[in-house]
Amino acid sequence: MRIVVAVKYVPDIHAERGFADGRVVRSAEEGTLNELDENALEAALRIIESLPEDERAVSEIVAVTIAGPEADTAVRKAYQLGVDRGVRVSDDALAGSDYFGTARALAAAVRRLAEEAPVDLVITGMAALDGLGSVVPALLAAELGLGQLTLAARLEVADGEARITRELDGVTEELVAPLPAVVSVTDHANSPRFPNFKLIMAARSKTVEEWTLADLGLDPATVGAAGARTHVLAATPRPPRPDVELVVDKGEGGRALAEYLIRNELV
Ligand SMILES: Cc1cc2nc3c(=O)[nH]c(=O)nc-3n(C[C@H](O)[C@H](O)[C@H](O)COP(=O)(O)OP(=O)(O)OC[C@H]3O[C@@H](n4cnc5c(N)ncnc54)[C@H](O)[C@@H]3O)c2cc1C
């Protein structure tokens, strides 16, 4: 079984965030693996761990990211969690990629991996916490011409099929697709493990393979700013929240709170 997991390097949600020219500012010090991609990695690890020993021995999980060298932080975290191989697709021409460009580059990386040996499954997170587009998985499936099972709250792989459970408003859907397929998992799919000491140490000596667009046979005009079908017109920081009014309860807290709500026309 060979599984590709798409992992994104995103600015740390606890750090100061910024935009420049409509793009998220990414710096090596403050970025991290997209938290929701830990669920994708965990799903892949559990599938491999559930296999019989002989199948497990020939299985591989490959983490792939589309980003600059700073994204090695995210791939290293994937190594610490237990993936076998990490690939970063970097190219100056990828700057300014929109959802389509990102999906196209990811698809090309999956196709290249499939040239080495069949890829059975591609797993992604439900969203990247910076872009929050939640569209890359569907676009990736379309680019690869594979079935897409999105927003899986549960994922099982057996008998050449991927089966997922999807929680909708008041309905639980069960979906199935033949392998290979693209699956995005939600944060309800599992609880990601913590890296253990052995894997943390082993990750230090692992290398992140770097591929360019030329390695993938991708025309630079079809990705990056040149190939983008959407353009960010403006990215305006939200105004800071108005000062918080602290109500100290010395026996009259309820009254003070009611007065606050009335004064601000909140009731
Ligand atoms: C017009 C436009 C211009 C942009 N320009 C830039 C730019 O110049 N520089 C820049 O850094 N960003 C840029 N972005 C943002 C970047 O293209 C998006 O982050 C990207 O399209 C993915 O969208 P998302 O983050 O909403 O992913 P989602 O669809 O929310 O991601 C879902 C899942 O897809 C996978 N995934 C998503 N992105 C990647 C990735 N890069 N590598 C591996 N897996 C991934 C992950 O598993 C993730 O959990 C631009 C976006 C737009 C629309």
Reported as a single tens digit per residue, the pLDDT across 49-63 is: 999 999 999 999 999
Instruction: Report CA(72)–ligand 1 centroid distance (Å).
Output: 16
Which residue's alpha carbon is nearest to atom 3 within ligand 1? Answer: 98
138 inside domain: yes
Residues 203/80, Cβ–Cβ less than 8 Å: yes
| pLDDT, position 44 | 98
| pLDDT, position 232 | 85
96 inside domain: yes
CATH code, domain with 217: 3.40.50.620
Which residue's alpha carbon is nearest to atom 32 within ligand 1? Answer: 127
The CA-atom distances, in angstroms, between 178 and each of 140, 156, 181 are 16, 12, 7
Ligand 1 pocket: which of 3, 5, 8 to mutate (most atoms within 8 A of CB): 8
Instruction: Report CA(97)–ligand 1 centroid distance (Å).
Output: 8
| pLDDT, position 242 | 74
Which residue's alpha carbon is nearest to atom 45 within ligand 1? Answer: 8
Instruction: Report CA(252)–ligand 1 centroid distance (Å).
Output: 50
| pLDDT, position 235 | 83
Q: Rounded mean pLDDT of the chain?
A: 93
d(CA 36, CA 8): 9
Q: Is the pLDDT of residue 264 over 90?
A: no
239 inside domain: no
Q: How many domains does the chain have?
A: 1
Q: Is the pLDDT of residue 28 over 60?
A: no
Instruction: Report CA(250)–ligand 1 centroid distance (Å).
Output: 50
Tokens 């008998």 belong to which residue? Answer: 159
Residues 203/33, Cβ–Cβ less than 8 Å: no
Two structure tokens written together for 16: 């100061």
List of E strands, the chain: 2-6, 9-11, 19-20, 23-24, 31-33, 60-66, 85-89, 121-125, 147-152, 154-158, 161-168, 171-178, 181-185, 208-211
Domain around 86: 2-227
Reported as a single tens digit per residue, the pLDDT across 163-177 is: 999 999 899 999 999
Reported as a single tens digit per residue, the pLDDT across 233-260 is: 888 877 877 777 787 888 889 998 899 8
Residues lining ligand 1, CB < 6 A? 6-8, 23-24, 26, 34, 36-37, 40, 65-67, 95-99, 102, 106, 124-125, 127-128, 130-137, 228, 230-232
252 inside domain: no
159 inside domain: yes
Which residue's alpha carbon is nearest to atom 19 within ligand 1? Answer: 131
Two structure tokens written together for 35: 């938290």
* Dihedral pair phi/psi, residue 52, rounded to 5°: -60, 155
Atom of ligand 1 nearest to the CA of 130: 25
Q: What number of other Cβ atoms are within 10 A of residue 252's Cβ? A: 11
42 inside domain: yes
Percentage, residues of the chain above pLDDT 70: 97
User: Could you tell me the pLDDT band of residue 66, with boundaries at 50, 70 and 90?
Assistant: very high
260 inside domain: no
Q: What number of other Cβ atoms are within 10 A of residue 206's Cβ? A: 17
Rounded to the nearest 10°, the torsion over CA 208, 212, 217, 220 is: 140
Residues 78/5, Cβ–Cβ less than 8 Å: yes
The terminus-to-terminus CA distance of the chain in angstroms comes to 58
pLDDT mean over 156-162: 97
d(CA 267, CA 262): 6
Two structure tokens written together for 68: 């600059």
265 inside domain: no
167-176, long-range: CB < 8 A, 24+ apart:
175/149, 176/149
